[in-house]
A and B are shown apart, each in its own frame.
Chain A
Amino acid sequence: EAGVAQSPRYKIIEKRQSVAFWCNPISGHATLYWYQQILGQGPKLLIQFQNNGVVDDSQLPKDRFSAERLKGVDSTLKIQPAKLEDSAVYLCASSFSHGVLYEQDFGPGTRLTVT
């Protein structure tokens, strides 16, 4: 079974520019998560989707971050405009559902550097 795919793997942008990340979850996985991992920290949830609906976006900085999951499959995460503190690895994960027994599978991440 193919794993969670993410692109691009690396991105360097200047502050105030915009950037978008793409995630393709494992086929059949209804739940999709975006995490932000700042260097030296554990991943922190940004947004959780169940199919194409948002379950939790309480930690998403909505003034600059947006995410969508059209058709309940692929997802994009956008930052506009980027700040220096957005430099991090953005991890996408998916699971069969958001119940307690379903493990999350993680993608390789996108490393963003904002200069």
Chain B
Amino acid sequence: KQEVTQIPAALSVPEGENLVLNCSFTDSAIYNLQWFRQDPGKGLTSLLLIQSSQREQTSGRLNASLDKSSGRSTLYIAASQPGDSATYLCAVDQAGTALIFGKGTTLSVSS
């Protein structure tokens, strides 16, 4: 059974700092890995999707990497801003199944 773990559970950083969020999964037979952002009381916003054949994806200040063989992904946020404060969720899917999520990392960026 696939399990997704995210470390740390919470993170507080000052504005401008670069940071890394970690995600690990137990079954390497995934098709996609996706990073989402969730603001309080809101739904999920997709940030980056990495297909199993890819190693990384970039969007603006965000970079996500995938090491499928070791079951790990990282989300790198450069030059963090207070507006980046949110919960970041990692999810994987296998063979067209629904997404399996981690518990998320709650990020707080102080000005």
A41 lies within 8 A of B46 (CB) = no
Q: How many interface contacts (CB-CB < 8 Å) are there between A and B?
A: 54
Q: What is the interface of chain A mostly: helix, strand, loop, or mixed?
A: loop
* B60 at interface by CB-CB < 8 Å: no
* Identity of the chain B residue whose Cβ is nearest the Cβ of A42 in the assembled complex: B101
A111 lies within 8 A of B41 (CB) = yes
Known: A45-B98, A91-B43, A111-B41. A100 touches B31 (CB 8 A): yes
Known: A43-B101, A91-B44, A106-B43. A98 touches B96 (CB 8 A): yes
**How far, in whole Å, are A112 and B43 apart by their CA atoms in the complex?**
14
Q: When the two chains form the complex, which single residue of B43, B49, B95, B102 contacts A103, counting CB atoms closer than 8 Å?
A: B49
In the bound complex, residues from chain A placing their C-beta under 8 Å from that of B41 are 111
Q: When the two chains form the complex, which single residue of A42, A100, A104, A111 contacts B102, counting CB atoms closer than 8 Å?
A: A42
**How far, in whole Å, are A107 and B38 apart by their CA atoms in the complex?**
12
* A109 at interface by CB-CB < 8 Å: yes
**When each residue 72-111 of chain B gets 1 if its CB lies under 8 Å from chain A and 0 otherwise, what string results?**
0000000000000000010101011111111110000000
* A101 at interface by CB-CB < 8 Å: yes
